[in-house]
Chains A and B, each alone.
Chain A
Amino acid sequence: MIFVATIRVLPKSEVRDPQGEAVRGALRSLGLAVSEVRTGKEIVVTFEAADETAARDAVRVMGTELLANPVIEDYAYELKEGAPA
């Protein structure tokens, strides 16, 4: 089966995000009442797995072994069956 995982990686809440702070300053300069910005990345992976359980196991490997560093980042994901839109 083909699966598409959309994996979102963000810095852990206790880790400072200087990029987010810079973006917050820039958004405030637009006159917006922005209190906090966290920046991260989204990675869309199309892959094959036998079933949904195997697919979720595969995404956990992707998340912990490469896409997020557990020392500084958390990740979350959505899993869909089928090719990307």
Chain B
Amino acid sequence: MTRVAILRYPGTWSERDFQHALSLVPGVESDILWHEDADLKGYDAAVVPGGFTYGDYVRAGAIAKLSPATRELRRFADAGKLVLGSCNGFQILCEAGLLPGALVRNRGLEFRCDWVHLRVERDDTPWTTGLRDAVLRMPIAHGEGCWVADDETLADVESRGQVVFRYTDERGGATAAANPNGSLANIAGVCNEGRNVVGLMPHPERCSEALLGGTDGYRVLANLAPALAGTAPALYR
């Protein structure tokens, strides 16, 4: 059994969606942990869901990075455990320095609530095993999802293969028109150098069953159990 901790900060709102989506993955059980007393001992993976923690005050994710849960998350990540951040969770991981770059106001100033396509750039993270070059369709819902970094960081992230997801058209072309928020190099998600921490702006938990209009999120989340057992995912390959 893979045990997953789902962190809940004040203003987190996707934790129940994640718990439901993870309940569909065989061999995975999850708990929602309140940020003030989140103890990650005994867990294999942690999820930082979307929302508007602390009302996005100062910057999206800025106040959450100083929460006890984020300190615990840093220890957890340093120990090589798996961490996934989606939307506001991605913003928190970048603010905390667990992932490179930062997420700023969308280029067009619009809040984007839409379906997008993503090309999976790397299958050597535990969250994307077997998905190399897959084009996934996922929903986004964010106002501050424009990923930026200085030139040196961007070059490092590209050369070290830390770009995990890129916004593309449905055929996998990373065009300007397919970029919903102005992110540099169409970057939708990155990983750390250790590859155990992955963040992305789209919402895999909102497209994990056909009833919700898509199942590509499940293809990411289904990696959890088998990735930890060191085997290829059996489902939705």
The chain A residues found within 8 Å of chain B, CB to CB, are 11, 14-16, 18-19, 22, 65-67, 69, 71-72
Contacts of A14 in B (CB 8 A): 150
Contacts of B104 in A (CB 8 A): 11, 15-16, 72
Q: Does B62 contact A (CB under 8 A)?
A: yes
Closest Cβ–Cβ distance, residue B145 to chain A (whole Å): 12
Q: Which of B62, B101, B109 contacts A22 (CB 8 A)?
A: B109
Contact check, B150 vs A66: say whether CB atoms are below 8 A apart.
no
Contact check, A71 vs B150: say whether CB atoms are below 8 A apart.
yes
Task: Report the count of interface residues on B (CB-CB < 8 A).
Answer: 20
Q: Does B25 contact A (CB under 8 A)?
A: no
Interface centre among A14, A22, A71 (most CB of B within 10 A): A71
12 additional A-B residue pairs with CB within 8 Å, beyond A66-B66, A71-B94: A11-B104, A15-B104, A16-B182, A18-B106, A18-B107, A19-B105, A22-B109, A65-B66, A66-B58, A71-B148, A72-B104, A72-B148
Contact check, A69 vs B59: say whether CB atoms are below 8 A apart.
yes
Contact check, B102 vs A69: say whether CB atoms are below 8 A apart.
yes
Contacts of A66 in B (CB 8 A): 58, 62-63, 66
The chain B residues found within 8 Å of chain A, CB to CB, are 58-59, 62-63, 66, 94-95, 101-102, 104-109, 148-150, 153, 182
Q: Is the interface of B mostly helix, strand, loop or mixed?
A: loop
**Total A-B residue pairs with C-beta atoms closer than 8 Å?**
37
Given contacts A15-B148, A66-B58, A66-B66, whether A71 and B109 have CB atoms under 8 Å apart is no
Taken together as a complex, chains A and B put the C-alpha atoms of A15 and B151 apart, in Å, by 11
Contacts of A67 in B (CB 8 A): 58
Taken together as a complex, chains A and B put the C-alpha atoms of A14 and B58 apart, in Å, by 20
Closest Cβ–Cβ distance, residue A46 to chain B (whole Å): 17
Contact check, B107 vs A69: say whether CB atoms are below 8 A apart.
no
Contact check, A69 vs B106: say whether CB atoms are below 8 A apart.
no
Contacts of B148 in A (CB 8 A): 15-16, 71-72
Q: Which of A16, A18, A65, A71 contacts B102 (CB 8 A)?
A: A71
22 example contacts (A-B, Cβ-Cβ < 8 A) are as follows A11-B104, A15-B104, A16-B104, A16-B182, A18-B105, A18-B106, A18-B108, A19-B105, A22-B109, A65-B66, A66-B58, A66-B66, A67-B58, A69-B95, A71-B101, A71-B102, A71-B148, A71-B149, A71-B150, A71-B153, A72-B104, A72-B148
